[in-house]
Amino acid sequence: MEQIKEISEIIEIECFAHGAMCVAVSGRCFMSQMTSEKSANRGECHQNCRRSYTITDSSGNELQIENSRVMSAKDLCTLHLIEDMKKAGIFSYKIEGSGRDPRYVDVVTRAYRKALDNELTKDELAKGVVELEQVFNRQFSTGFYLGKPTEDDISTAENNEATEIKLFIGKVFNYYQKISVAEIKLNENIKIGDQLVVIGKKTGLKRIFIESMQVHNKDVKAASKGDSVGIKISDIRKNDEVYIVKVKEKKNKTGQYNC
């Protein structure tokens, strides 16, 4: 942070604020090129560093290591450092989101936009971090901002450590503009109080909690897979995709999440 402050007094600085970090100097890792002829410097990285590894000695013996993901860096998260970053003179804040879905973009940009526009309290920042944990992440690190990374900045996550998951429940079969009601043919069961996310090319992303719904023009508290359900949602479109957001339960004995 001190080095950034010195440089920002001379030129405008853009810094990464959030997202996946390369274990090498970004764009200069040749593992993907060597193993699959896909150049990281051309945006084609196969992310060899995210894989698990075993170490084999010269006689062929495999050595067990505690964390087999020895090159997989945790994701960068600087939300709680934003005020220090502002004081350091950072001009532009960059979010890494390659291949991430619209919900990731929505949650992360909202959190950082709020923190950049306002001086948030510790409680507000802590709440923001909890929201960031809801979408894709490999656990969080402060990268180089507070000093050189250590072994604690290497992820133990197998893939996605998000505390929430979204499941596809169907497309908008019809949308009745005058009454702002979407008709959805369900692939999953839903109920009053569930959080839905609607995603479309022109719609962008809409989030709602179900307050009421109808099946065959009758109010219901729950609807089942196969039902055509009417839900009041404003400003969406026919053929938009609809997802339900569920909280992940703790990992079971097999290391997998229950939902």
Q: Which domains does the chain have, with CATH numbers?
A: 2-34+62-153 (no CATH), 164-247 (2.40.30.10)
Q: Is the pLDDT of residue 186 over 70?
A: yes
Let me know: does 140 contact 74? Beta carbons within 8 Å.
yes
Residue 163 burial (C-beta neighbours within 10 Å; 0-12, 13-18, 19+): middle
Between strands 75-77 and 140-141, the pairing is parallel
Between strands 228-232 and 213-215, the pairing is antiparallel
Alpha helices in the chain (DSSP H): 2-8, 31-36, 82-87, 102-117, 122-133
For the chain, the C-alpha Rg in angstroms (whole number) is: 22
Look at residue 43 in the predicted model and tell me its pLDDT: 78
Q: Is the pLDDT of residue 90 over 70?
A: yes
Strands laid side by side in the 228-232 sheet: 204-209, 195-200, 241-247, 164-176, 181-185, 228-232, 213-215, 218-220
Look at residue 256 in the predicted model and tell me its pLDDT: 43
At 218, list the tokens. Answer: 């009758």
Strand partners, 30: none
Look at residue 254 in the predicted model and tell me its pLDDT: 44
At 1, list the tokens. Answer: 């942070």
Strand partners, 141: 76
At 81, list the tokens. Answer: 């450092």
Strand partners, 184: 172, 229
Let me know: does 239 contact 201? Beta carbons within 8 Å.
no
Let me know: does 41 contact 28? Beta carbons within 8 Å.
yes
pLDDT in tens, 56-72: 988 989 887 778 888 89
pLDDT in tens, 206-250: 999 999 999 999 999 999 999 999 999 999 999 999 999 999 876
At 139, list the tokens. Answer: 């656990």
Beta carbons within 8 Å of 129's beta carbon, 6+ residues apart: 77, 79, 80, 140
pTM: 0.84
At 51, the amino acid letter reads R
At 9, the amino acid letter reads E
Look at residue 250 in the predicted model and tell me its pLDDT: 65
Let me know: does 181 contact 232? Beta carbons within 8 Å.
yes
Q: Is the pLDDT of residue 188 over 80?
A: yes
At 63, list the tokens. Answer: 């050595």
Let me know: does 75 contact 19? Beta carbons within 8 Å.
yes
pLDDT in tens, 110-131: 999 999 999 999 999 999 999 9
Let me know: does 233 contact 208? Beta carbons within 8 Å.
yes
pLDDT in tens, 144-175: 999 999 989 999 887 789 999 999 999 999 99
Report which listed range, 97-101, 185-189, 252-256, is most confident. 185-189
